[in-house]
Amino acid sequence: MRRLFLILAPYAWLLVFFLIPFAIVLKIALSDYAISIPPYTPVLDLSAGWDGFKSFLSALDFENFTFLAEDALYYTAYLSSLKIAIISTFLTLLVGYPIAYGMAQAPDEWRPTLMMLVILPFWTSFLIRVYSWMSILSNEGFLNQLLMWTGLTDSSIQILNTNTAVYIGIVYTYLPFMVLPIYSALEKLDGSLIEAAEDLGCSRIQAFWLVTFPLSRPGVIAGSFLVFIPALGEFVIPSLLGGSSTLMIGKVLFEEFFNNRDWPVASAVAVVLLLILIIPIVLFQRNEQKQREADQ
């Protein structure tokens, strides 16, 4: 019974917090828009039993999904979100890997302190941290003042309300999700392998690329997925730091739900976004399974 409970617990969690909400959103996505409260007319009537299900199948259409394919706004938003998420993940990796490597090479007594410094931003509200970046990146903000003080620019430059600000916000926000998996992989690295590579004639740089980086690849893959998946559907950062030219599917989804009040189309947008996210989620789970099998 204990084993059965342990198996059923995660499936019950997925059923309550994923499958049922997804079914509700899919039902709304297959509904028709209406000026009412809520603003849609359900096509599927569960109270009618089997007759209601047969009428649902006869009236079933995918006009909301077809509308997404026909309107350039939506697939442009998906492509823009993919682009921003991929670039942000790459930039986060460039910043996070040296930090994780430095933590792994630090003395043992310093590692808990360094770990705490990485996790420390989570002690502050996410919204407050994003708002603070608005003041830092503004034309009169700290970053522009620093650039002018160092002589790199003669006048303030436009950073806020651009894609650059979105990249900065995403990298800062999701940096711990990249650092911690890589640090976990590097911490378990056997230092004698590096010494053996150097004894065989490798320089430190060659030993890093031939030994250290390949062995840390599981952490890199895990960190990249943990950054890419939430960044793809990000809404707060592009809304506060990005301008009107920053098009991401999270902003489009919010506008369809709360501004246009078109719940069927918004639900269709959410369903497609989830289907896109299933691919990296499945790849991430397979990578985690392979890593567990390798550890065993």
pLDDT per position as a tens digit, 122-148: 888 888 999 999 999 998 889 989 989
Predicted confidence at residue 13, as pLDDT, reads: 86
Close Cβ partners of 25 (under 8 Å, ≥ 6 residues apart): 267, 270, 271
Report the mean per-residue pLDDT for the chain.
Answer: 87
> Is 90 exceeded by the pLDDT of residue 82?
yes
Q: pTM for this structure? A: 0.86
pLDDT bracket for residue 170 (50, 70, 90):
very high
pLDDT of residue 177 exceeding 90, the answer is: yes
Q: Do 180 and 118 meet the contact criterion of CB atoms below 8 Å apart? A: yes
What backbone phi and psi angles, to 5 degrees, belong to 72?
-65, -25
The confidence band for 54, taking pLDDT boundaries of 50, 70 and 90, is: low
Q: How many CB atoms lie within 10 A of CB 77?
A: 21
What confidence tens digit (pLDDT) does each residue in 233-269 have?
Answer: 999 999 999 977 788 999 999 989 888 888 999 999 9
The domain segmentation of the chain, as residue ranges, is: 68-295
pLDDT at 88 over 80: yes
pLDDT for residue 265: 92
Query: What CATH code is assigned to 68-295?
Result: 1.10.3720.10
pLDDT given at position 51:
61
Query: In which region does residue 49 sit, left (phi positive, over 0), alpha (psi from -120 to 50) or beta (all else)?
Result: left
Instruction: Of 248, 114, 128, 108, give the one whose Cα is nearest residue 176.
Output: 114
Q: In three state form, how does the secondary structure of the chain look?
A: CHHHHHHHHHHHHHHHHHHHHHHHHHHHHCCEECCCCCCEECCCCHHHHHHHHHHHHHHCCCHHHHHHHHCHHHHHHHHHHHHHHHHHHHHHHHHHHHHHHHHHHCCCCCHHHHHHHHHHHHHCCHHHHHHHHHHHHCCCCHHHHHHHHCCCCCCCCCCCCCHHHHHHHHHHHHHHHHHHHHHHHHHCCCHHHHHHHHHCCCCHHHHHHHHHHHHCHHHHHHHHHHHHHHHHCCCHHHHHCCCCCCCCHHHHHHHHHHHCCCHHHHHHHHHHHHHHHHHHHHHHHHHHHHHHHHHC
Q: How many residues does the chain have?
A: 296
Residue type, 189: L
